[in-house]
Amino acid sequence: MAKLLDVLNEKLTGKNVRIVLPEGTDERVLQAAVELHKGDKVEPVVLGNAEEVKALADKLGVSIEGIEIIDPKTSELRDELIASFVERRKGKATEEQAQTLLNDPNYFGTMLVYTNKAAGLVSGAAHSTADTVRPALQIIKTKPGVTRTSGVFFMIRDEEQYVMGDCAINPTLDAQALAEIAIESAKTAKTFGMDPKVALLSFSTKGSAKTPETEKVTEATKLAQEKLAQETELAGTVIDGEFQFDAAFVPSVASKKAPESPIQGDANVFVFPSLEAGNIGYKIAQRLGGFDAVGPILQGLNAPVNDLSRGCSTEDVVSLSIITAAQSL
């Protein structure tokens, strides 16, 4: 974790990237805002009722002087954001519905990002994944060429660092979506200083089993390799599959099961065939393998929005804010 953050801190020095923290009345979030405001990397924009936020700061014994606090219910930006929301939702929300939705700090905060008043958003300390992510899917939407957003975890243990996805968003995936996730995961790995070697995982290695499930991953590998050829920013990246995990990760198994592959047990980005596999897989690495799991980091959106776990600490809010700021550069 320290190494990942070192790389990002260096990139962000002096940038004061504006990141919205919609949960300003959560102790951990407010503490994180105070900490971030002291530095020069992330400038927090805290949402909440100013008096409630001030009362919490007094209770915590921290100073919030100089930190921008916006109350979604009374902000002078409301009319502009409501009009922009109705326009963006094109017939899917009336002005009356927008009035109500923009009382929700996640919707309000996401609109601040959409209208370029902030570069990214970090929420979820007190909201479910769905409530945090839905406004981003509806408003910020995916980048051109990406049909689905997905969520990866950085798995970190001492000097080892891997990316695993999708572990957070899409319950089911077809070959096209899996291929997109392979490309987006490679880009995320690269943003964070890695040299991506992407393995698409299955319960089969290079045709050792043939079922609709394995063939989906074989097809996704082909599509991802074709896409890779168009992605100049990913020059040097390797993508291959389908692999069982050991064939992607253990050189002696790779040499037996996939001797022709450019990946010989040195994969560092793992793409799972479904959300079930991904979510279970990263938690096994975390709990049995002793890896720190940082994320989920959402990828494929036009601007970064990231989801905290409800069990997060102040340190987690600070780290995810730094990661989100780095994604916006």
**Interatomic CA distance for residues 303 and 121, integer angstroms:** 9
Nearer to ligand COA, 71 or 184 (CB): 184
CB of 150 to ligand COA, least distance (A): 7
Say how many CA atoms lie within 13 Å of 277 toward its Cβ.
Answer: 18
Nearer to ligand COA, 134 or 190 (CB): 134
3-state secondary structure 222-247: HHHHHHHHHCHHHCCCEEEEEECHHH
> Which DSSP helix (H) or strand (E) runs through 15?
none
Give me the residues that bind ligand COA (CB under 6 A), please.
Answer: 92, 129-130, 133-134, 137-138, 142, 148-149, 168-171, 279, 296
Contacts of 257 (CB under 8 A, 6+ apart): 205, 206, 208, 243, 244, 247
Residues in the chain: 329
Nearer to ligand COA, 156 or 301 (CB): 301
Tokens describing residue 61: 């014994």
> Which DSSP helix (H) or strand (E) runs through 305?
strand 305-307
Nearer to ligand COA, 167 or 322 (CB): 167
Number of residue whose CB is nearest ligand COA: 137
**Interatomic CA distance for residues 145 and 184, integer angstroms:** 11
CB of 261 to ligand COA, least distance (A): 29
CB of 225 to ligand COA, least distance (A): 23
CB of 137 to ligand COA, least distance (A): 3
Nearer to ligand COA, 299 or 321 (CB): 299
CB of 136 to ligand COA, least distance (A): 9
